[in-house]
Amino acid sequence: MTEHTFIPKPYLNTIENGKVTWESPSNIALIKYWGKKKDQIPENPSISFTLNNCKTITSLSFQKKETTSDFSFEIFLDGEKKDDFKPKIQTFFERIEVYLPFLRDYHFKIETQNTFPHSSGIASSASGMSALALCLISIEKQLSSEISEVYFNQKASFLARLGSGSACRSIEGDLIVWGQTMHIEGSSDLFGVKYPYKVHDNFKAYQDTILLVDKGEKQVSSTVGHNLMHHHPYAKNRFLQADANFEILKPILESGNLNAFIQLIESEALTLHAMMMTSMPYFILMKPNTLEIINKIWKFRQETGLHIGFTLDAGANVHVLYPKNESFEVLEFIKNELVAYCQNGHYICDQIGFGAYQLTMDN
């Protein structure tokens, strides 16, 4: 399969206007993607839990227009016009135009909102870009009569990837692999696929409590961070390690070995941040409270034997991961000992989810 698969045949139907709404979740990587080639092709495979509660709800209204010389769109976040989002969407439209040739035919109104606070330090790019990609492919589905469910999901993921790499892992759940690896049958650099092997019940309804350590803007964007992997002294080994970690993760997911799971995901999180600290220029996204929390988690785990672990995104917030049946004790610990390290005491309770949903479609 190549990207040409996603260039559509001439459309058979015409539509004047309409509106479509999708909600799409965020995701949290267990094996991390950090470093990419041209056209958002990842340097190494990654796998994530799809989240359930942290999501973006996007409505896309479209109206046929007279001229097709330019893209025409406006964006609203929580009902407020957001012109500063326009360059990102313009770039996205330019990248995906060849795959969605109707883009210049319509004026679009994008209305979006997140279920998590905008300034929470939680990236909205995965949920936001996947929600928008889903709205767009829903329009294509009306224009063309030939779209199967499999193609729909693959193309949605493919388009989302061109907006933000990790967004391609938000279309479905509950465990999604992105990036070609011989360890996962059917894996692709072009789009995310469902993890195809057996997963132990220990991982059903796995919990992710996100501790909001720093709600500010990141000092270094993901785009800049990915680019710093190009001449990174440890890049080659890191990419090999991520690939090899799939071979370690597979028996863990099958057997439900939580201690081995924790060891792998914590190592992945710290390796991601180690890559940042050893790039040139180097940078640190963790904050003192990130480290305080990590040390508290380790101490609590040692004292109680509970299966609490952490992972980190490209930021200071800590994702606390634990099985559902240990929720009571872990939440008590979080409230009593970790909330003090969160900005304004804020945290978000989430758990593994099953992907995006279409809310409405009118025309």
Which residue number, 103 or 229, has a Cβ lying nearer to ligand PMV? 229
For ligand PMV, which residue of 165, 179, 309, 323 counts as binding (CB under 6 A)?
165
For ligand PMV, which residue of 21, 114, 222, 343 counts as binding (CB under 6 A)?
222
Contacting ligand PMV within 36-55 (CB under 6 A) = 46
Beta carbons within 10 angstroms of residue 41's beta carbon: 14
Which residue number, 44 or 207, has a Cβ lying nearer to ligand PMV? 44
For ligand PMV, which residue of 34, 108, 191, 203 counts as binding (CB under 6 A)?
34
Which residues, including other chains, have CB under 8 Å from residue 307's CB and lie 6 or more apart? 258, 259, 261, 262, 301, 322, 323, 326
CB of 19 to ligand PMV, least distance (A): 28
Residues 342-361: x where in contact with ligand PMV by CB under 6 A, - otherwise, as a string: --------------------
CB of 43 to ligand PMV, least distance (A): 11
Beta carbons within 10 angstroms of residue 29's beta carbon: 25
> Please, where are the H alpha helices in 144-200?
149-163
Of 32-40, 93-101, 181-189, 341-349, which segment contacts ligand PMV by CB under 6 A? 32-40
Contacting ligand PMV within 102-131 (CB under 6 A) = 123, 125
Pairing of β 72-77 and β 106-114: parallel
DSSP string, 226-287: HHTTTT-TTHHHHHHHHHHHHHHHHHHHHHT-HHHHHHHHHHHHHHHHHHHHTSSS------
Contacting ligand PMV within 254-283 (CB under 6 A) = 272
For ligand PMV, which residue of 33, 99, 102, 116 counts as binding (CB under 6 A)?
33
CA distance 299 to 301: 5
Q: Tokens 């976040």 identify what position?
A: 77
Which residues of this protein are in contact with ligand PMV, per CB under 6 A?
29, 32-34, 46, 123, 125, 164-166, 222, 226, 272, 313-314
